[in-house]
A and B are shown apart, each in its own frame.
Chain A
Amino acid sequence: MSFLEVFQYTRQDSIMHRLDPRSKLVLSIVCAAVSMMFMEIIPLLMVFICLLPMIAAAKSLGRWAKSMKGLASLLVFVLVFNTLLSPVENPLSYSLSLAIRLVALMTSFSLFFLTVQPDQLSQALIQMRVKFEFAFAMSMAMRYVPTLGQEAYAIMDAQRARGVELDKGNLIKRIRNVIPIIVPLIIVSIRRALSIAESMESRGFGASENRTYMEMLRFGKWDWALALSSLMVLILVIYVRFFVGLPGWMLWNLPF
């Protein structure tokens, strides 16, 4: 699952990281929307080529390349199966564009998730008038993922030590094996949740109607520039795609 790394925030100091999460969200959605609008190789490649410098601006090309390597087997799978099974005229061309589209989509969203810290994301939600409690619950979920993971491993070890054979047997047996892991994990988590609640309560969680924030996100001039230019690109692309039609050379297909 190494290709998922491209959706994981990495702390870095780059132009992309410094931008407001909201403007990056607009950018990501526009990029994704544009790649969803085309089924031809050349426009998709153009989207992809536009995305690369942005990943570079986030100083994350290395990480991105590694994830794409992890994705390679899935891409080959997409290519082979679509080529063999799809009923269109030139299946190889079609499946090639599908593969490029997948990469472009992943890259679009990774631009957002690579550069936005979960806390920033919840701060952005709060400033978009989502209730603090909901936004905070989301960032807390992110916070406790590694903790729960560690706990799950500890429980698995404890159960193995008692003779539970977790990786043996047929599918049904394996599914049943999950029970001795899940049940203790849920109980431990509920206990932990109580203790976390106690600590949060002691620090005045939910005390004041007028909660303040040490740092507010600021939508600066670069954020406006990015968001507005992304939207303009979107409008332009929609116009060309639906009202003008692509120029002939962009519709080029592989002959088979």
Chain B
Amino acid sequence: MALIEFADFSFKYLGADSLALKRIKLIIDEGEYVVLTGPSGCGKTTFCRAINALVPQFHRGYVAGNVYTDGKNTRENEVATFASVAGLVFQNPENQLVTLDVEKEIAFGPENLGVAPAEIRRRVEELIELLDLEELREKHPHEMSGGEQQRVAIAATLALKPKVLVADEPTSNLDPKSAETILEIFAHLNKRGMAVVLVEHRLDLVARDASRIILMNKGRIVADGNPREILAMDLCEEIGVGVPKATQVYKRLRTRGVDLRNVPLTGVELAELVQEATSQ
């Protein structure tokens, strides 16, 4: 069974003029690392919300087609049903921290679902360890930096033991160093078997971790596949996706008739491929 299945799903927000999502059809399986990208207003956020039923249960509007998350139809089940299946991390960390300290924040989700106190305590300790939150344990959210807040928000989401972590531009309010830390956490979680759906513009940071890239434009999926294939396409430049520097160099070389054996995603890969090509 697919973890997430979009079956010809379309959605229009109440009062909006055009569809936010147009006949989306796709399947995401367990263990995948999907990076979703595209220009602003292309429907990425709506896509994320559709995974855990925020669309159409919390944000109402016109709906056609269905989304099945873990086999359950999002049109027929409440958002809370999906809390322990799809964990959402949002753009603004401040708005995700609703209690006054880290422990309470992590406990908030499982408490809502009625998990036994001893089990909640165990998860809290485990996540504080996993996300390196020990020093923040006693801090008020207001005293933390954006990156620290976002780490707490991720821990709070993971406390529900979701099968997929869906993150909607989690790094856009953060400085480069914190952004990198957050993205490392996602890569690490994915290695431990969790599926990740990440909306991200800084492809140079995530392309090598991703198992799949989906390009969206104007509510449609315009490309979907292996990161190297997708980033090599000229479509990326046409719709304004930030292609990694190394891949840009590859494309320039290609137009000048130099064909490298593979599409590089990082500087190191590019160097190796160039070395290989010149030594022949």
Contact = CB atoms under 8 A, between A and B. Distances in A.
Do these two chains interact? yes
B87 interface: yes
A11 B121 CA distance: 21
A203 B160 contact: yes
B2 to A, nearest CB: 21
Contact of B156 (A11, A140, A197, A203): A203
Contacts of B100: 117-119, 139, 142-143
A203 B83 contact: yes
Contact of A202 (B83, B116, B141): B83
A195 B95 contact: yes
B104 A201 contact: no
Contact of B112 (A117, A143, A203): A203
Interface string B88-117: 101010111111110110011111111111
A215 B81 CA distance: 24
B80 A198 contact: no
A208 B112 contact: yes
Is chain B's interface secondary structure helix, strand, loop, or mixed overall? helix
B83 A204 contact: yes
A205 B114 CA distance: 11
B142 A195 contact: no
A17 B140 CA distance: 17
Residue of A206, A213, A214 with most partner-chain B CB within 10 A? A214
A91 to B, nearest CB: 46
B120 interface: yes
A199 B96 contact: yes
B79 interface: yes
Contacts of B124: 214
A203 B109 contact: yes
Contact of A213 (B92, B109, B117, B140): B117
- Bin the interface of chain A by size: 20 to 34
B37 interface: no
Given A143-B100, A214-B107, A195 B90 contact: yes
B160 A196 contact: no
A201 B54 contact: yes
Residue of A195, A203, A212, A215 with most partner-chain B CB within 10 A? A203
Nearest to B116: A212
Interface in A162-198: 192, 195-198
A212 B115 contact: yes
B46 to A, nearest CB: 12
B98 A210 contact: no
A119 B141 CA distance: 13
Interface in A101-144: 117-119, 139-140, 142-143
A214 B81 CA distance: 21
A200 B115 CA distance: 17
B99 A119 contact: yes
B90 A199 contact: yes
Given A204-B83, A207-B83, A212 B98 contact: no
Nearest to A210: B114
A196 to B, nearest CB: 5
A73 interface: no
A203 B120 contact: no
A119 B113 contact: no
B269 interface: no
A202 B107 CA distance: 14
A116 to B, nearest CB: 12
Contacts of B52: 202
Interface of A: 11, 117-119, 139-140, 142-143, 146-147, 192, 195-216
Given A202-B83, A214-B111, A214-B117, 11 more contacts: A119-B99, A143-B141, A195-B92, A199-B88, A202-B54, A204-B80, A205-B112, A207-B80, A211-B111, A212-B114, A214-B121
13 contacts: A119-B104, A198-B54, A198-B90, A202-B83, A203-B156, A204-B83, A206-B112, A207-B78, A207-B80, A208-B113, A212-B115, A213-B117, A214-B103
Interface of B: 49, 52, 54, 58, 78-84, 87-88, 90, 92, 94-101, 103-104, 107-117, 120-121, 124, 138, 140-142, 153, 156-157, 160
